[in-house]
Copies of this chain bind each other. A is one copy, B any other.
Amino acid sequence: MSSPADAAPAGAVRQGSLREINLALLLGRIAAAPRPPSRAELATDTGLTRATVSAVVDDLIGGGLVTEVDPTPRTGAGRPARGLLLASRGPAGLGLEINVDYLAVCVLDLAGEVRHRTVHRADLRPASPAETVALAAELAQRARADAAAQGLTLAGAALAVPGLVAADGVVRLAPNLGWREVDVPVLLAAHPPLTDSVPGLPALVVDNEANLAALGELHAGEPGATDFLYVSGEVGIGAGIVLDGTLYRGARGFSGEIGHLPVHPEGHPCRCGGRGCLETYAGQEAILAAAGLAGTDVAGDAARLARLAAGGDPATLAALGGAGTALGVAVAGVVNLLDLDTVVLGGTYAPLARWLSPAVTAEISRRVLTAAWHPVTVRPTVLGADAAAIGAAGSVVRRVIARPAAWLAGAADPGTRQGLSSAAAGGLYSAPDRRG
């Protein structure tokens, strides 16, 4: 959608743009600084005058985006300056994930701290899309109330689903959930608003879960990784591809379907219609079946597998070894193709990484041409099993930091805020940014 400035007359846009640029510039510096910078340091860093910095910082403080803290005492001459840091009250992001065997909800504040986190385990395949969305909306309401009690206002929401999401928020296909052409924004519009939506900021984004988890890993995971494959193992297997520090979405936004890389081309039939897809060898159900646990309740099974493996259960260890080999075959192909230096194991693969990684690494060593010169790191995500919800909430927070003027306009005139129900109906739904 357009920012409010787009609709203003040309002269006003220029004046407004300059203020918007300075607000975003200084808020971005404050967000990225390793310790709270002073106004004087910001002026030196940016080349803006001290008067401009002070005026802009006052706006950021007035709007609840930044707080000023007393300095820690230090040695040396001169009165130490007060430092600026992101507000721990004020705007926050709501992240939601609907997956096959759980719903996750979290709230992140501007500084990226997790302020609320719920994971609700249930096999959601028997539920209709409307029932599942209703459950997500209910959990979101509790998160919103908890956020409000902490002085936080939800500035937007992002929802992760394990499937192909079109630019209008319609889930084209989520085969493991049994969803096809599910219009999530319309379903959500039947419920009370999830957030205090702000004109100029998207009220709701729907995106693929592996994409959002990869964004979470990029921004909140181990620092320094800019080219990696994030593999999200659930009942299905998705991937987020980060190239040059940017999430690669593909020609039409449908990249990352690693679960349907064929590892045994005439092997097991797959729900997608193909045969021998990775998912049928290394998806959660395949692992459970190989471990002799088929048919048990799928929710919570990663923890059960981890307990059995830690206890040395031979069938579980063999199942995880086989899944790791299949995953390694597919991942080695991806690394040969894309020349990535890091593979991050996420979703249920994170708690199982200890038993999956050796086989994955073995297949990479065996099959990747450049592995002899450039070892490939295989490691679990540091974000845990609900990485996609955290990545989703983080994407909301990064948008507030990138466009503080939109938040400030809403803060000055709360009457302009709209609830999500009217927002969705009125077209406030936004597609994910093309570049990350």
Contacts and interface: CB of A to CB of B under 8 A. Distances in A.
Interface of A: 164, 172-173, 175, 226-227, 239, 241, 243, 248-258, 260-265, 272-274, 277, 325-326, 329-330, 332-334, 336-341, 366-370, 373-374
Contacts of A337: 239, 241, 255-258, 261, 334, 337
A72 to B, nearest CB: 39
Contacts of A256: 337, 339
Contacts of A227: 250-251
A367 B272 contact: yes
Contacts of A368: 260
A175 B251 CA distance: 32
A273 B338 contact: no
B272 A341 contact: no
Nearest to A274: B367
Contacts of A261: 333, 336-337
5 contacts: A241-B338, A251-B341, A255-B337, A274-B367, A333-B333
Contacts of A373: 172
Nearest to A265: B329
Ranked 4 nearest A-B pairs via Cβ: A250-B339, A227-B251, A257-B336, A274-B367
Nearest to A248: B243
A203 to B, nearest CB: 26
Nearest to A365: B273
A273 B239 CA distance: 27
A333 B251 contact: no
Nearest to A251: B227
B333 A254 contact: no
Contacts of A265: 263-264, 325-326, 329
Given A339-B253, A340-B251, A369-B272, A332 B262 contact: yes
B164 A260 contact: no
Given A251-B227, A337-B256, A339-B254, A369 B164 contact: yes
